[in-house]
Chains A and B, each alone.
Chain A
Amino acid sequence: ETGVTQSPTHLIKTRGQQVTLRCSSQSGHNTVSWYQQALGQGPQFIFQYYREEENGRGNFPPRFSGLQFPNYSSELNVNALELDDSALYLCASSPRVKGLNTEAFFGQGTRLTVV
C-alpha cells in the first residue's frame, strides 16, 4: 500500500455535469500530479501541484482544473463533462527535494464513467 488515497473509487456522471475527485498524498510528499488513463492506454499527465500552485500542465483544456491544500491533499475538478472524459483518474504524490528522487507513488484511482 502506497499511502496515497483517492476518493471516490467509482463514479458515474451525466454529460455536461461537473465532478470533483480527491487525493490525499503520502505523508511527507508535497507534490501531487494527476493523470488520466483511458482503457488500454498509458496514463496521460494532466497537471501537477506544488505549494498549492499549478506547476506544470499537460495537453488538457481549461475545464480540467485543480487545487492543492496546505496539507498537500488535492482535488481535480472537471466541468462540462464529455463522454471521452470516461477514464481512470490517477493521483501520484512525490517529495520535491534536491538530488535523485525517483519516488512517485500512485493511488488506486477513481474510475469515472460519463453517460
Chain B
Amino acid sequence: GQNIDQPTEMTATEGAIVQINCTYQTSGFNGLFWYQQHAGEAPTFLSYNVLDGLEEKGRFSSFLSRSKGYSYLLLKELQMKDSASYLCAVSPYSGSARQLTFGSGTQLTVLP
C-alpha cells in the first residue's frame, strides 16, 4: 500500500526558516519529489531526492532518509509569495516523475 503523511497546515513569519516534514510507507520507492502549488494553479517542481542526504537549491533544501521513510523540505528567508501548498510525492520509477503518489499537502501561510 501507499501512505504519505504531512502536516496539514503550518504558519511562519516572513524572513524565518520553516521545515515541512513528510513520512512515507510505500510498496515501491525510487525517488521523492516536492512540489509547490499556489491556490488555483498547477503544481510546480521544487526538488528531487533519490539518495540519502540533503539537496540544496537556493532558498529551498530537501532531505531524505530512506531507512526512516522520512523527508523534509526546508525553506529559508521566507517571503510572502511562499504561501502555498507543499506536496510531497513518491515515484516508483528511479529518476522519473511518472506515476507519482502524493501526500495531502501542507498549507503554509507566511505572515508579515
Chain A's nearest CB lies how many Å from the CB of B51?
12
Once A90-B43, A106-B42 are accepted as A-B contacts, the answer to whether A41 and B105 lie under 8 Å apart by CB is: yes
- Does B95 lie within 8 Å of A108, measured CB to CB? no
Once A42-B87, A42-B105, A43-B87 are accepted as A-B contacts, the answer to whether A104 and B44 lie under 8 Å apart by CB is: no
- Report A-chain residues with C-beta under 8 Å of the C-beta of B89: 42
- Does A41 lie within 8 Å of B104, measured CB to CB? yes
- Does A104 lie within 8 Å of B87, measured CB to CB? no
Judge whether A74 is part of the interface by a CB distance below 8 angstroms: no
- Report B-chain residues with C-beta under 8 Å of the C-beta of A56: 98-99
- Report B-chain residues with C-beta under 8 Å of the C-beta of A40: 104-105
- Does B98 lie within 8 Å of A31, measured CB to CB? yes
- Does A90 lie within 8 Å of B87, measured CB to CB? no
- Does B97 lie within 8 Å of A102, measured CB to CB? yes
Chain A's nearest CB lies how many Å from the CB of B94?
9
Q: Which of A13-21, A65-73, A75-83, A93-101 participates in binding chain B?
A: A93-101
Number of interface residues of B (CB under 8 A): 22
Chain B's nearest CB lies how many Å from the CB of A91?
9
- Report B-chain residues with C-beta under 8 Å of the C-beta of A100: 95
Number of interface residues of A (CB under 8 A): 29
Which residues 98-115 in A have Cβ within 8 Å of B in the complex? 99-109
Chain B's nearest CB lies how many Å from the CB of A54?
12
**In whole angstroms, what is the CA distance A103 to B99 when docked?**
12
Once A56-B98, A100-B95 are accepted as A-B contacts, the answer to whether A106 and B103 lie under 8 Å apart by CB is: no
- Report B-chain residues with C-beta under 8 Å of the C-beta of A2: 42, 44
- Does B105 lie within 8 Å of A104, measured CB to CB? no
Chain B 34-48: CB-based contact to A (< 8 A → 1; otherwise 0)? 000000011111001
Chain B residues engaging chain A, CB cutoff 8 angstroms: 4, 31, 33, 41-45, 48, 87, 89, 95-105
**Would you mind naming 20 contact pairs between A and B with Cβ atoms under 8 Å apart?**
A4-B42, A33-B99, A41-B104, A42-B4, A42-B102, A42-B105, A43-B43, A45-B99, A58-B99, A90-B42, A99-B95, A101-B95, A102-B31, A102-B48, A102-B95, A104-B100, A106-B43, A106-B44, A108-B41, A109-B42
